[in-house]
Amino acid sequence: MKYTLAKQNYKKETFLKIFEFAIQTKQLDEKQILSIQNDIFEIVKVLTLTYTKKRSTTITAKKFKQFMKSIYYVLDHLIVKYQDPVFELKNSNIKGLYENGIIILNELYDLLEEQIKKLKSIRIITNNERYNDIFDRQLPYFMALYDIDYRAYYCGYDLDYPLIDGIPLYFDMYHLEGIDLVLEYTKRLMIEHTFCTYFEEKDKVTLFAAYELQKGITMEFIGINFLEVILMQVLFNMLLDKQELSIIVNKEEALYIQKMIYQKDIKTIIELMYKKLSTKIHERSMYQYLCKFREDFTRRLEIGKEKDSITDLIVFFDGSKEIIHFKEPVLSDSEYYMTVIESVQRNNDVLERIFIILNSKLSLYDYIDLLDANILSRKDYQCFFHQIDIHSIALLLKKTYPEEFLFNQNVFLDKQFVQRLEKDKQWKEVFCEVLLEFTSQKKTEITSIIRKML
């Protein structure tokens, strides 16, 4: 009987499965079985001796299992290459098969290295932690620490930047291990990145900034898939009569899209979107990959329609929304800082002292140092906080109490909020008092400035 490999699911075929099949169907006689077993034993013995530097033939049971698993992993890669694997088992030397398997794994390693290099060249510029971790830590460390001899099956990293169909290690998505898993992940990541390269970097940066602003959350810490954000915009754009693929939608266009979605059936809309998309994407494999999002997108639109929140799904650019970019303040040199402090200390008049501080070229962190230094009186603090503009107040508030503004959450400068703030220094007490004295309009302005800060 000939063992037929399941072509579609060939990655599930293992050396052990084929060996067991050959034994059960009595295609191998006892002598051949013993010879195969002895060959495997010899391989594991050689591995053990190289591992212990020929000092001992004893290893822990855990290490032994690792070696065995690694040997089978290597043999698995070779066995799927043969038309009749049982015939190969009968007639080949297992040691030779193992050596050829190592060569195949080395080739895969080179392929992966090349793939990662290509991916790095088209990497998206973002501050997203998970995404950057994949490129800066997980993939390079996997490459550096990958051990073909002793732990070929092992991948010690989560690969936790989600792809459009999820995180690979969750639920053992691809049923793969070791280098196969990483290779599959990078292959999919490559398709996603190739699609992302269709759009200008400038557009992507604007889209992500608008996304943050609209959702009220920074991209830094969230487990987001960039293709998902981009693809949704592209699909919405398909409803507009644009000649080229685009990710930019303005407010009027967003309202038009919303109107269209409400007028028609969701399935018709999705059909239309993907039909148009198929005409614009010529690579079939990429189009098929993008279709993985179809089901999820349909569900989102259905929920959006049900809850009347379609516009929340579209990232659009409202002209009235401004983004404030504050450069990280640089500390002044200590000599200059000391001269300012000395001149402040020399003066007795409150207004003059504040005048010196405000006209100095101190940065925000210097201001905080100066406030912490306890050289000003309560009156000085009051005068100082009334003199500085609302932008500085907002910045000071965000830098002093960063824990209150995590993930760009909305805050209201009401009595309850101010009472909650830490007041371990005199200036902080005065600062809180001054905050309460502000008019409600001024408070709203301050909070809106904080939200616009990135």
In whole angstroms, how close is the CB of 16 to other proteins at the nearest point? 7
CB of 59 or CB of 281, closer to other proteins: 59
Q: In this chain, which of 2, 12, 65, 415 binds other proteins, going by CB under 8 A?
A: 65
In this structure, are residues 429 and 423 in contact, taking their beta carbons and an 8 Å threshold?
yes
370 binds other proteins (CB under 8 A): no
Contacts with other proteins in 239-268 (CB under 8 A)? none
CB of 59 or CB of 411, closer to other proteins: 59
Q: In this chain, which of 18, 22, 72, 85 binds other proteins, going by CB under 8 A?
A: 72
In whole angstroms, how close is the CB of 453 to other proteins at the nearest point? 55
Contacts with other proteins in 23-52 (CB under 8 A)? 33-34, 36-38, 40-41, 44-45, 48, 51-52
C-alpha of 241 from chain center: 32
In single-letter form, the type of residue at position 35 comes to S
CB of 34 or CB of 358, closer to other proteins: 34
Other Cβ atoms closer than 10 A to 255 = 15
The whole-angstrom separation of Cα 395 and Cα 378 is 21
In whole angstroms, how close is the CB of 104 to other proteins at the nearest point? 21
CB of 61 or CB of 144, closer to other proteins: 61
The whole-angstrom separation of Cα 134 and Cα 207 is 22
Q: In this chain, which of 7, 26, 31, 53 binds other proteins, going by CB under 8 A?
A: 53
CB of 172 or CB of 437, closer to other proteins: 172
Q: Provide the sign of the torsion angle of the four alpha carbons 90, 95, 100, 106, taken in this order.
A: positive
In whole angstroms, how close is the CB of 447 to other proteins at the nearest point? 60
In this structure, are residues 248 and 203 in contact, taking their beta carbons and an 8 Å threshold?
yes
Reduce the DSSP state of residue 63 to 3 states and report it: helix
Q: In this chain, which of 69, 423, 451, 452 binds other proteins, going by CB under 8 A?
A: 69
In whole angstroms, how close is the CB of 60 to other proteins at the nearest point? 6
330 binds other proteins (CB under 8 A): no
CB of 68 or CB of 390, closer to other proteins: 68
Q: In this chain, which of 13, 21, 27, 59 binds other proteins, going by CB under 8 A?
A: 59
Angle (deg, nearest 10), helices 378-387 and 350-359 = 50
In whole angstroms, how close is the CB of 277 to other proteins at the nearest point? 45
61 binds other proteins (CB under 8 A): yes
In this structure, are residues 71 and 44 in contact, taking their beta carbons and an 8 Å threshold?
yes
CB of 42 or CB of 318, closer to other proteins: 42
- Name which of 261, 196, 271 is nearest 226 in CA terms: 196
In whole angstroms, how close is the CB of 89 to other proteins at the nearest point? 12
In whole angstroms, how close is the CB of 43 to other proteins at the nearest point? 11
Helix H, strand E, coil C: the string for 219-285 is CCCCCCCHHHHHHHHHHHHCCCCCCCCCCCCEHHHHHHHHHHHHHCCHHHHHHHHHHHHHHHCCCHH
Q: In this chain, which of 26, 31, 62, 327 binds other proteins, going by CB under 8 A?
A: 62
The whole-angstrom separation of Cα 303 and Cα 308 is 8
In this structure, are residues 161 and 134 in contact, taking their beta carbons and an 8 Å threshold?
yes
Measured between its terminal Cα atoms, the distance across the chain in Å is: 67
Compute φ and ψ for 4, nearest 5 degrees.
-100, 125
In whole angstroms, how close is the CB of 78 to other proteins at the nearest point? 17
In this structure, are residues 96 and 102 in contact, taking their beta carbons and an 8 Å threshold?
no
64 binds other proteins (CB under 8 A): yes
CB of 39 or CB of 404, closer to other proteins: 39
In the block, residue with structure tokens 């609209």: 214
Name the residues that contact other proteins, by CB under 8 A. 16, 19, 33-34, 36-38, 40-41, 44-45, 48, 51-53, 55-65, 68-69, 72
